[in-house]
Structure 1
Amino acid sequence: MENPVILQTFYWEMNTGKYAEEYPEEANLWQLLANQAEEIAEAGFDLLWFPPANKGAAGVDDVGYGTYDLWDLGEFEQKGSKRTKYGTKEELLNAVEELHKCDLKLLYDAVLDHRMGADKKEKVKLKDCSEAEVWTKFNFPGRNNKYSSLKLDWNCFDGTDWNELTQEAGKLLFNTKEWDDSFADDYLMGANLDYQNQDVRADTINWGKWIINEIGFDGFRFDASKHVANSMIYDFIEETNQSSEKELFYIGEAWINDVDTLVNYLESINHPKLHVFDFPLRERFIELMHGNLDLRWLGEKGLVNRKNYKHRAITFIENHDTERDEASEYHTEAVAQRKLQAYCYILMRRDGVPKVFWKDYHHFGLKEVINNLIEARKKFAYGEAYESESNDQNTYSYIRSGDQDHPGSGLVMMITKHENGKIIEKTVNSGKADTEYYDYTGNIEEKVKTDGEANGQFKVKGTAEKGYSVWVPVES
């Protein structure tokens, strides 16, 4: 993949409320993605991040994170339905086939931390020697041992959060158990899987191999990975990767806003194939939205700018957790709040793999602009990368020098937080002498010519809506 881009194919409220009314086609996501395969590929996307495709505790209403049965991809009558929220297994397999025809790679959202929606409860002894009645028996009656014969009971979990005997919530650790070796608190929600139990460990890894080799996915996004046993994440990557000749891709969702701590997380897993979402960089984008970010230091922010780790960063602005109707820093004023400056930054940068959010792309009116930025990335974002010496608190310029393998490549990217309505002009060395440039975004109409030392007076519009430009060489 050259200059890869990820599309997140879902959001939390998909096919609910006003979204079900306005976007009825999203009721059958697998069918929708299959139908859009060519369009998605032509837009320049390389990887698609799927939601959890397995049966959740809430059946067709489950976004996928209330995992009940990993092995049920919409094939069995369980939890009140055969299909999942997104469709049936047959529709999923068809989507995988159609998307692969367009050379798209697919990432499965693996929820490995917990299970929910147990079939029965059982009495157990807790660590403090008291007794509890807990929902920990999973028999998967609809599946009838297909794919896996493992049934789950309290022995498969470290603990849970609800005691039926006392009708009280609280973190309950079972007798003879210890929490696993996760980076953050092992307990997050539901019935917490015990990966010191070798049957649970083996079954989960076998499931991962099945997802890759039988269902056809090309990698995983690990939900809440900092709460899953570090050794389990390592072994899961190692064994699924060795089971396939494909070049698999792995992303951990370690929601950590500090770069040093995020680096510590990567080192604790210690697997070279693991990428992580760059939450520290997103924090800086929130500052940018509010006009509080000093752009002189933007080139030093986030994991994407940390030496030895920048290639492990997945850069993004929003996801299904950060952007919800009831809680989002950006809300729906996507353009006015400098979101496109953020997209311009991640899509032109040499390091990191940028991810586009479904709502931004399809619902917030940004599809045309994002397509334009992706096209600029694919055509021009090559060669050496460096910040301009003219960067100041309000305006930032970033240069790609171009390379011989991509004739006509190279660019000058500019973003600003100015809102004075004026044209901001900066002297920038583009690395290309006596070269004429034009703004690929169309935000600035006139062209710019560099001098014999490659310096030019590059421009960007001082508005929140159009405060971004990507200057590229005019075709000779």
Structure 2
Amino acid sequence: MFSFLPCFKTRRQRTKSQTQSQKQIEEKANAIESLPSWHSPTENTLLFQAFEWHVPATPNTADKRSHWRRLQHALPAIHSLGVTSIWIPPGCKGMDTNGNGYDIYDLYDLGEFDQKGAVRTKWGTRGELEDLVLDANALGVGVLWDAVLNHKAGADSVERFEGVRVDDDRRDIEDGNPQQISGWTSFTFPGRGTTYSPLQYHWQHFSGVDWDDAQQRKAIYKILDPSRPDKNWAQDVGTDENGNYDYLMFADLDFSHPEVREDVLRWGKWIMSVLPLSGMRLDAAKHFSTAFQRDFIDCVRQEAGDRKVFVIGEYWSGELRALLRYLEEMEYRVAAVDVPLVERFSRLSRVKRADLRGVLRGTLVERRPGNALVSCYHYQVSDDEQRANIQQTIVEPSFKPLAYALILLRQGGHPCVFYGDLYGTCDGDHPPTPACEGQLPNLMRARKLYAYGEQEDYFDQPNCIGFIRYGNAAHPSGLACVMSNGGPATKRMYVGRKHAGEKWTDLLQRGGDHPCVTVIDEMGYGEFPVQGMRVSVWVDSAADGREGVGAEFDVDIYGIQAQ
């Protein structure tokens, strides 16, 4: 005779386990006011990437302002969302008047000298830049500089020197014999002269180029110097691709050359003295010496004095081990971009009903939350071939609200909001369209007001996960977040007995989404619903600041709608 006893026994065991788990959650939550985190005076920080690749230098609209002026005007509104720092684009002169600055020509020209076809950079003049930084500081908003130190572009003339071709896919393997080549390596800065720095750059200051002008041939050449027979690629760079990934693009700087080292350290002191910056992003950190990066960071922090200097190392790798190795080599002086998280968001966004429970597994924010920059978009600035690889990290629009909720509302990591998601991108013929169906400002406000204190995860269903933030003494309301990448769902979560009887509402409420109010029961539990492919963020309807969360945010930064 078939017995149902094993089935009933398994069900009883499961029920007992769930009861024990609930009891543990309740005990943990009821003790949070005795933890140091409850009394933390720290306000949430939030970084805003204040540009996107296609921002026009001079918009074809009624708005003729430079980008520096545009940002200066938008600062109060951005700050009101909880932004505490802005990451601005490279403000140094590039080889192209409308280049984004990653095609860097002169570190010491911030839009001050008539070089490369204009005085201004794509983003504006030095005076406009100074106004922006001063206004940001007055609001309590820090400014992070995008430091492009790996290479130079747009040389003033060609030089002859000896080089050896290397294998495109294995830069540590020479492909042929040394030969005389012609490369664009002479940088004399005729517009600036010797103002701020006396150094002119020549072939001796570079380790590689990717163009032989004499033969009109594109290939990667390692530069040889008879006076320095040990000259080679830097060894303390990324090796998880191409054997040795010192060479990336343009004329690659050789940081083993004492004049290069001295000049770039001089620039670090100079930029910190002329602009009250609060941080830097080291572009292409995978491609130049980590030893020099450490020295550079120490140099700028010493120059900054009492100012805290937050540094991001843009080491682009989806391999967690590579990121952890980079952080270790940097002696944890920097935060690194959590590329595994970006790639995880991308994969989940493209798979129907993907399992959300492991969304954070194997990410940098899971392993080193204090050293993780978390975002759902980040520039990987490289050559055209590599730029195509960025497509692999695009997060589909329908998943972005889920990604941003995980970035903005959870403990751990340094969250970064992308300009193109807040204001839309200008890469087409249509007006820019913001991400998250216009709800990103509300998610940012939720972080500013409610995402504090200890956290409890409910990652117990493949297509519906949630978490609780219990709040702290300064922000006691807390929040409940639930998200679904499948159909409508409801998740029962414990917010604490002190909230019993409170009426919680969804900050992201849309008409007809779900019941407008969830009442916390006498045991401290709430039933929190969410629609399919949506995020809901629930807080007490009487919480401080609740009435302002849904306020309209002006996304028309270019003045298109005003025409």
Q: TM-score, normalised by structure 2?
A: 0.77
1:426 is matched with which residue? 491
Instruction: Tell me if structure 2 keeps the 8 A contact 1:56–1:116.
Output: yes
Amino acid at match of 2:489: I
1:295 is matched with which residue? 356
Output the CA distance in 2 between the equivalents of 1:276 and 1:457.
37
Match of 1:400 among 469, 482, 492: 469
2:27 is matched with which residue? none
1:440 is matched with which residue? 507
| Corresponding position: 1:50 with 2:88 | yes
User: Cα offset for 1:207?
Assistant: 0.9
Match of 1:265 among 323, 326, 341: 326
| Corresponding position: 1:41 with 2:79 | yes
Match of 1:228 among 281, 285, 288: 288
User: Cα offset for 1:300?
Assistant: 2.8
User: Cα offset for 1:78?
Assistant: 0.6
User: Cα offset for 1:51?
Assistant: 0.6
Match of 1:243 among 287, 290, 303: 303
2:483 aligned counterpart, secondary structure: strand
Per the alignment, do residues 242 and 330 of structure 1 end up closer, same or farther by CA in structure 2, a change over 3 Å counting?
closer
Q: What pairs with 1:258-407 in structure 2 (closer than 5 Å)? A: 258-270=319-331, 272-291=332-351, 293-306=354-367, 309-321=368-380, 328=391, 334=397, 337-363=398-424, 364-366=433-435, 368-388=438-458, 391-407=460-476
- What fraction of aligned residue pairs are identical, expressed as a percent? 34
Amino acid at match of 1:318: Y
Amino acid at match of 2:142: K
CA RMSD in angstroms comes to 2.3
Output the CA distance in 2 between the equivalents of 1:158 and 1:392.
52
Q: What pairs with 1:210-229 in structure 2 (closer than 5 Å)? A: 210-229=270-289
Amino acid at match of 1:182: V
Per the alignment, do residues 400 and 333 of structure 1 end up closer, same or farther by CA in structure 2, a change over 3 Å counting?
closer
Output the CA distance in 1 between the equivalents of 2:113 and 2:442.
42
Deviations 1:39-96 (A, max 9, x none): 22112111111110000011x2211001100000010011111111011111111111
User: Cα offset for 1:329?
Assistant: 6.0
Amino acid at match of 1:429: Y
Match of 1:187 among 226, 241, 247: 247
User: Cα offset for 1:400?
Assistant: 1.0
Where do 5+ consecutive residues of structure 1 fail to align?
none
Amino acid at match of 2:51: F
2:559 is matched with which residue? none
Per the alignment, do residues 34 and 150 of structure 1 end up closer, same or farther by CA in structure 2, a change over 3 Å counting?
same
| Corresponding position: 1:161 with 2:210 | yes
Instruction: Tell me if structure 1 keeps the 8 A contact 2:82–2:447.
Output: no
User: Cα offset for 1:357?
Assistant: 1.1
2:408 aligned counterpart, secondary structure: helix
2:182 aligned counterpart, secondary structure: strand
User: Cα offset for 1:97?
Assistant: 1.2
User: Cα offset for 1:102?
Assistant: 0.9
| Corresponding position: 1:139 with 2:188 | yes
Match of 2:54 among 13, 16, 37: 13
Output the CA distance in 1 between the equivalents of 2:524 and 2:270.
54
1:417 is matched with which residue? 485
1:116 is matched with which residue? 153
Deviations 1:431-463 (A, max 9, x none): 44525222122244422233344322111111x
User: Cα offset for 1:228?
Assistant: 1.3
Deviations 1:275-305 (A, max 9, x none): 1111111111112212353112224352111
Output the CA distance in 2 between the equivalents of 1:310 and 1:202.
34
User: Cα offset for 1:402?
Assistant: 1.4
2:266 is matched with which residue? 206
Output the CA distance in 2 between the equivalents of 1:32 and 1:362.
12
Amino acid at match of 1:40: I
1:254 is matched with which residue? 315
Deviations 1:359-407 (A, max 9, x none): 1111223485112111111111111112116x21101101111122323
Where do 5+ consecutive residues of structure 2 fail to align?
1-41, 165-176, 240-244, 382-386, 425-432, 544-563
**Which has the larger Rg?**
2
1:346 aligned counterpart, secondary structure: helix
Per the alignment, do residues 24 and 221 of structure 1 end up closer, same or farther by CA in structure 2, a change over 3 Å counting?
farther
Instruction: Tell me if structure 2 keeps the 8 A contact 1:401–1:432.
Output: no
User: Cα offset for 1:107?
Assistant: 0.6
Which shows bigger deviation, 453-462 or 63-72?
Answer: 453-462
Per the alignment, do residues 50 and 380 of structure 1 end up closer, same or farther by CA in structure 2, a change over 3 Å counting?
same
1:98 is matched with which residue? 135
| Corresponding position: 1:28 with 2:66 | yes
